[in-house]
Chain A
Amino acid sequence: MINNKSKIKTIGVLFVFAYLFIRLFVYSDSVQAQEVSLSLSPPITELTIQPGRSYIQVFTLRNDGAPVTIGPKIFPFIPLDRQGHAELIEDKNSVDVFAPWFYFDQTPVSLGTTGSRDFYVKITPPVGTEEKDYYFTFIVEVQNENNLGINNSLAQARIGANILISVSKDGNPSKKASAITFSAPRLIDSFSTLNYKVVIANTGFSFFKPTGKITVDQIFGSTTVLNLAPLNVLVGGAREISCIQDENLIPCTLPGKFLIGIYRSDLTFTIDDSGTAIAKQIYTIAFPFSVLIGVAIIFIIYRIIKRLTG
């Protein structure tokens, strides 16, 4: 009797153990690598505002990764290079200087998968603010949990959107531009491509977009127009301007597989599509040098062979 009871007990324990074992290794949820996937819109806000006035911009963040806790911040930035990249100024003093400009809820919030959150950022340059440009980046930062596991690094994601602010009492800040560089090779082989480099500098008091084109005239031939992309050029800086086609930014390159003759290229642009046009002109000669060299080499080889056999 006692033996039977013991057997039943043992079988019961074994059954529970087997169930837990199977449950652990067969039915347990697969552990997914924690992915962070965020999107932020709009990517840029361009604001011209009087001192003391307010404007509210809504930034929408969407989470397509694992659930996260996020926190918003705003940092001033300066242009890093001529490519449109920003260098955030994250030191506390620089951030604190502009703290009275921005009002937004900085409380960290949790976002589930496919969740989204609107951040209302009220921008108010204080009365008496100097009339000039101020550049900022709105950043949403994932709040990391404590490190897990041993000897590990945690990857923290931050995503940003730029805010360009021109503080102006009359709404018409002075805008000035100069074309620092408009260049292309003077002499090219007919089988190479004709690439243009356009660098525009901002010598005024407010950011602007160049509106213009490169008109390429082949002497006694066709005319091709390359449209400049209206990229922002920030105060005190310069920007390399690419071209735009079908709403895609592309290098400013003359299309065509075989170029020959003299090409006259005219750069013309205005600031924000108004005012006097700024213009520059360059010439390029395209000639089939590679063909010429090839023919010359063949001729020399032919002469050598002829001399050796003769």
Chain B
Amino acid sequence: MSMLKLVFLALLPIVYCLLPDIVHAQGVIQSPNYTIQMPNLNSGAGIPTSSHYGISTTIGQTAQGLASSSGYRVKAGFQYIYSIIPFSFAISSVSIDFGHLVPQTPVTKTNTLTVASGGAGGYQVKASENHPMQVIGSVSTIPNTNCDTSCTNTTAGVWASVSKYGFGFNMTGNDIPADFTDSTYFRPFADRNNSESPQIVMSSIYVGRGRQSTVTYKANISGTQPAGIYNNIITYTAIPSY
């Protein structure tokens, strides 16, 4: 018997010990009062509670999970897709610091939005600002951009000229609006102070994991911009599809 065969035979029991046990899917959990079919509660949330009712919740199962009693009926979580990945939303950096702004010298800063809607169907992320960039306690603002010719909350336009002033954003990456044709296309944020509705900046009707986009913020001021510290708050709201 060659040395190689001896080594192989010696290793066999070790490999056998390392093999994992066969895992059986849990079929049914039962009690005299309730039944949970195909339990899959490791997503760890959203379990309906009641002191009076038996609850059976299926999160992310193909089988229907229905909690019923004499007063309500509930389903939590999407019944047809795995909810093991919760709906999540991340912003890479919350502070977008432009530093000292010099007239006719545009400054751009970026951050990243990441969405995982594995436990939901599609999703949307909407954006809006509380007001244009403004000096606190003053009426001085860096106005929202009109781009080189025109752009709106819903339609991006080219903003390349250094003599066009304002504050706006561009988007690149996954699930972004189609009007951000390239990195020169910008929009102003919807201004809630001006009763403008938040606008979708990322959306998909499909399950997505690690969908990512980069937001590029741009500020450009004129020589007549009053001195001061300008700031505002951009609110991103991520909601799964219903």
Contact = CB atoms under 8 A, between A and B. Distances in A.
Given A60-B45, A229-B80, A162 B50 contact: no
B224 interface: no
A46 B240 CA distance: 14
B231 A151 contact: yes
B159 interface: no
Contacts of B231: 147, 151-154
Nearest to A79: B242
Contacts of A248: 81, 206-207
A242 B81 CA distance: 14
Interface in B14-64: 43-50, 59, 62
Contacts of B95: 33-34, 148-149, 152, 154-155
Interface string A135-172: 10101001010011111111111111110100000010
A64 B87 CA distance: 13
Contacts of A135: 242
A47 B50 CA distance: 14
Given A58-B48, A155-B93, A44 B120 contact: yes
A43 B87 contact: yes
A87 B242 CA distance: 11
Interface stretch (B1-9, B96-104, B149-157): B96-104
A148 B97 contact: yes
A171 B73 contact: yes
B98 to A, nearest CB: 4
Interface in B182-197: 197
A29 interface: no
B94 A156 contact: yes
Nearest to B239: A160
Interface string A82-97: 0111111000000000
Contacts of B89: 37-39, 157, 159
Interface residues of B, number: 74
A253 interface: no
Contacts of A156: 94, 233-236
Interface residues of A: mostly helix, strand, loop or mixed? strand
Contacts of B99: 149-151
A231 interface: yes
Interface of A: 33-50, 53-60, 62, 64-65, 79-80, 83-88, 118, 120, 135, 137, 139, 142, 144, 147-162, 164, 171, 229-232, 234, 240, 242, 244, 247-250
Interface of B: 43-50, 59, 62, 71-83, 86-101, 111, 114, 116-117, 119-122, 124, 129, 133, 167, 197-198, 200, 203, 205-207, 217, 219, 229-242
14 contacts: A34-B93, A35-B92, A37-B90, A41-B119, A43-B117, A57-B76, A60-B45, A87-B197, A142-B94, A153-B96, A154-B232, A155-B233, A157-B94, A249-B122
Given A43-B83, A43-B119, A244-B80, 6 more contacts: A36-B91, A50-B72, A86-B241, A120-B49, A153-B133, A160-B239
